[in-house]
Amino acid sequence: MTDAAQDQAVRSAEVALAAGPLSGGGPGRAASWRMIVRAFAENKLALTGLIMVMAVALFCFAGPLFWHTNQVNTNLLQVNLPPGGAHPLGTDDVGHDELGRLMAGGQSSLEVGLAVAIVTTGLGVLYGVVSGYAGGITDAVLMRIVDIMLAIPVVYLFIDLASDFKPTLLLLIVVLSLLSWLGLARLVRGETLSLRVREYVQAVRIMGGRSGRIILRHLVPNAMGTIVVNATFQVADAILTLAVLSYLGFSLPPPAVTWGGMLEDGVSFLYDGYWWEIYPAGVLIVITVIGFNFIGDGLRDSLDVRLQRR
């Protein structure tokens, strides 16, 4: 049998077997995605989270178009001014407008969070699905590597990096991504171990389906619930971790700013009564994290095949 004929036979077998709710293509898959969108739209918490995240994103990226501030040069004549007048949220210890600072810090925080989620998802899914599908000695070796990396003391690593390297946006993304994909890899590996023994996967394998085809058309799509939910949580986790890194000295150097950096700077003045230098950034972090968590929960309920069938 030629490769073309074999591929056609595999496609025919997939259609005949109705391989997986999110596998393959055609009307069945379109109906599944319509069901997912409908379920998400009916989830009030998910919509609330989406509105929260969109509002924060608009505030950070569209706000500077309407609220122009100088976040580069210092102004020692306007240090620690309380909210009011020309500065609705006051100024910080070097005279920067806090409202404009929140917008600039939000841009960096959201960019890092989204970039880390994308890189982490790609690495974790690739590593986990290969490990789970291969099984045997390959799976054992790959998982032991993950266990070794999970044993690395993260706090010590961050302190060491802070003393040896000058933090940049790219470096923060790389470091957070390399430490965040391990959990997703284990989750995807577990899903793959369960999916690879399903009837439709076994049938495609018997018909001569290639490993790459099985992985891309059957294993990954049917593990999409785990993958997407984890990706939304990765954004929230990255923003929180970025805030923690600021206390360890591993944050973007001025004039760049993140919400975590604003918290670190504001703590020094909290007991002086300068609440506006810490609480607004903290509130935005909480709102953003809760928003992404709501979205993740909604996507989990929408993508979970078992919930769709209830």
Q: What pLDDT is attached to residue 37?
A: 79
- Please count the CA atoms within 13 angstroms of the CA of 158 that sit on its side-chain side: 18
Domain-embedded: residue 80: no
Domain-embedded: residue 45: yes
pLDDT less than 70: residues of the chain: 1-32, 209, 304-310
The pTM is what?
0.81
Residue range of the domain that includes 298: 32-62+102-308
Domain-embedded: residue 206: yes
Output the domain CATH number for residue 206.
1.10.3720.10
Residue 91: strand pairing partners: 97
Domain-embedded: residue 73: no
- What amino acid occupies position 256? A
Q: What pLDDT is attached to residue 306?
A: 46
Helix (H, G, I), strand (E, B) or coil at 164: helix
Cβ contact 263:246 at 8 Å:
yes
Q: What pLDDT is attached to residue 19?
A: 46
Over residues 131-176, the pLDDT tens digits come to 888 888 998 999 999 998 888 887 777 777 777 777 788 888 888 8
Q: Based on the structure, what is the number of domains in the chain?
A: 1
Q: What pLDDT is attached to residue 13?
A: 46
Domain-embedded: residue 235: yes
Over residues 19-35, the pLDDT tens digits come to 455 555 555 556 667 77
Q: What pLDDT is attached to residue 116?
A: 92
Domain-embedded: residue 186: yes
Cβ contact 306:222 at 8 Å:
no
